[in-house]
Amino acid sequence: MKKILVVDDSALMRRVLCDIINSDDRFEVQDRAVNGLEALDLLSRKTYDAVVLDVNMPQMNGLELLKELNKRKISAKVMMASTDTREGAKTTLDALELGALDFVHKPNNAMDCRNDVFKDKLLQVLAVVADSKTPTISKAFSLDEVKASKKMVELVGRHASSVSGNKVVALASSTGGPKALQSVIPRLPKNLKAPMVVVQHMPAGFTASLAERLDSLSEIHVKEAAEGDTLEAGTVYIAKGGKHLNVQSSMGKYTIHYTDQPTREGVKPCANYMYESLQDSRFDQVVCVVMTGMGADGTEGIKHLKEKKKIHVIAQEASTCAVYGMPKSVVTAGLSDQIVPLDQIAQEIIMNVGVK
């Protein structure tokens, strides 16, 4: 049985969350804390399989606690549960950057938390977080790393300038993805010779903030993909949360088209749709990248794509994944051409598609 710590300043909310968690025989709430200070004291003395953490609390809030855990090198598997998470997409991304693995949006009213939709979502995310790998202590991209990665890009670029063909990069990620993308996209040069489409499992309202954040960290242009956008080399298009992204071709151009089909693999956006939409494209090659995340999204789509197109599949290596689900599924299906640690994915993308 997994031991859980619940951190929330509302007594009623704590009780509701604990009731939900204890109702599932996989989990047991071991301790409760009313703010970050109490939680910090517990986490410095005890280990838990997962921590359910609120954002807004007196004395020490959720983000301050994550910063303090990083500073003291205390590792914990944290999921955020906060009413802030919907409006505060920035707050959520800050939490994910600081080491939280996932998040769930908590209704404003504790009574609404008793509905099955919230209950199922909370337990689903908690199970993934409790089974995930303990995240490495969060650290920002240092100046030296940026310089080293620029050097690497220049070296790779010399080879990459001779790569020919009209290609596209299609990347899929889920739990652990927002942070993992920060180790990939900022390392790509602005003169990448291909467009890149990304499906990151996230609800509506979060992907615009994710795209803005990645754009501010990167040379390459990053945007949330809008309906009708024409794919251009040197741009990363992130699928909107809550819609399925497809790539359509017409008159020699490729454009973004969203559909509102039901969830698939339990997610929306689903990478399988993105991969399948590239089946009839005229790209010489599709470079598929599958990164950290639960489940098997991407495998079926890549399998179908391979029947019609030349593809090259890069899977993230297990020890660098928060959750080794999606890449494992691709590897097990015998679809991967390369298995690469997170910090080398960017250079493999560059080597495969080239620079202008």
pLDDT of residue 114: 83
Q: What is the mean pLDDT of residues 262-275?
A: 96
Q: Which of 105, 149, 201, 329 is catalytic?
A: 201
- Domain CATH number, residue 93: 3.40.50.2300
Does residue 162 have an active-site annotation? no
Residue 136 lies inside a defined structural domain of this protein = no
Residues 158 and 276 placed together within one structural domain of the fold: yes
In which band, very low, low, confident or very high, does the pLDDT at 134 lie, cut at 50, 70 and 90?
confident
| Count of CB atoms situated within 10 Å of the CB of 282 | 9
Q: What is the mean pLDDT of residues 109-135?
A: 89
Residue 197 lies inside a defined structural domain of this protein = yes
pLDDT of residue 88: 78
Residues 193 and 336 placed together within one structural domain of the fold: yes
In which band, very low, low, confident or very high, does the pLDDT at 159 lie, cut at 50, 70 and 90?
low
- Domain, as residue range, for 11: 2-131
In which band, very low, low, confident or very high, does the pLDDT at 112 lie, cut at 50, 70 and 90?
confident
pLDDT of residue 149: 60
Q: Which of 173, 281, 297, 312 is catalytic?
A: 297
Note if the pTM is more than 0.75. Answer: yes
Alpha helices in the chain (DSSP H): 11-22, 36-45, 62-71, 84-87, 89-97, 116-131, 143-160, 177-181, 207-217, 271-277, 299-308, 326-332, 345-353
Give the helix, strand, coil percentages of the chain, each rounded to 5.
40, 25, 35
pLDDT of residue 133: 84
- Domain CATH number, residue 296: 3.40.50.180
Residue 283 lies inside a defined structural domain of this protein = yes
Q: Report which secondary-structure segment, H or E, holds 316.
A: strand 311-316
pLDDT of residue 109: 82
pLDDT of residue 130: 96
Residues 152 and 295 placed together within one structural domain of the fold: yes
Residues 44 and 152 placed together within one structural domain of the fold: no
**Rounded distance between C-alpha atoms, residue 287 and residue 267, angstroms:** 22
Q: Which of 106, 131, 156 marks a domain boundary?
A: 131
Q: Provide the mean pLDDT of the chain.
A: 92
User: What's the total number of domains in the chain?
Assistant: 2
User: DSSP letters of 32-69?
Assistant: EESSHHHHHHHHHH---SEEEE-S--SSS-HHHHHHHH
Q: Which of 131, 160, 188 marks a domain boundary?
A: 131
| Confidence check: pLDDT of 342 > 60 | yes
Residue 33 lies inside a defined structural domain of this protein = yes
Q: Which of 72, 96, 131 marks a domain boundary?
A: 131
Residue 19 lies inside a defined structural domain of this protein = yes
| Confidence check: pLDDT of 139 > 80 | no
Inter-CA distances, 307 with 154, 280, 288, 303, Å: 35, 11, 14, 7
DSSP 192: B
pLDDT of residue 152: 62
| Confidence check: pLDDT of 138 > 60 | no
pLDDT of residue 326: 98
Convert the pLDDT of each residue in 56-88 to its tens digit: 999 999 999 999 999 999 999 999 998 766 667
**Which of 122 and 252 is assigned the larger pLDDT?**
122
Residue 294 lies inside a defined structural domain of this protein = yes
Residues 168 and 276 placed together within one structural domain of the fold: yes
Residues 234 and 149 placed together within one structural domain of the fold: yes
Residues 118 and 154 placed together within one structural domain of the fold: no
Does residue 304 have an active-site annotation? no
| Confidence check: pLDDT of 294 > 80 | yes
% of the chain beyond a pLDDT of 90:
82
Whether 92 contacts 98, CB under 8 Å: no
Residues 120 and 150 placed together within one structural domain of the fold: no
Q: What is the mean pLDDT of residues 260-288?
A: 96
pLDDT of residue 356: 87
Residue 138 lies inside a defined structural domain of this protein = no
Does residue 201 have an active-site annotation? yes
Residue 137 lies inside a defined structural domain of this protein = no
Q: Which of 174, 183, 277, 336 is catalytic?
A: 174
| Confidence check: pLDDT of 132 > 60 | yes
Q: What is the mean pLDDT of residues 137-154?
A: 57
Residues 66 and 116 placed together within one structural domain of the fold: yes
